[in-house]
Structure 1
């Protein structure tokens, strides 16, 4: 439901790599397979972040409405 239309662009992965290069291993001499694995893990992490953002937005919207009552 929250991740149905979520996609991660390659540019987002590249931005993540650039923004976090100090915390990531040096991949200049890594194999293509190792680079692909790292990119896949980053893409998964970014996907989860977007899904969580969608859920939090949905929850905030519904809690502020009159349809949900808190016990």
Structure 2
């Protein structure tokens, strides 16, 4: 039997910066984790990295802040 790939609970993207919010059920309730990445194109292929340059940091801060707000709005 094939394992089903977990889908994100929510994604926030601004320009090339993306925050992916994952929902996990635990014994103490729902918990959220966030992964962040920068999307870029290498030739014809889209790739992503977890490395950010100086000019990415202001947008990264905004995306992470929006992820934080979304998680709190879930009321869990």
- What is the TM-score with the length of structure 1 in the denominator? 0.36
Structure with max Cα Rg: 1
Q: More relative contact order in 1 or in 2 (CA 8 Å, sep 6+)?
A: 1
- Of Structure 1 and Structure 2, the greater helix share is in 1
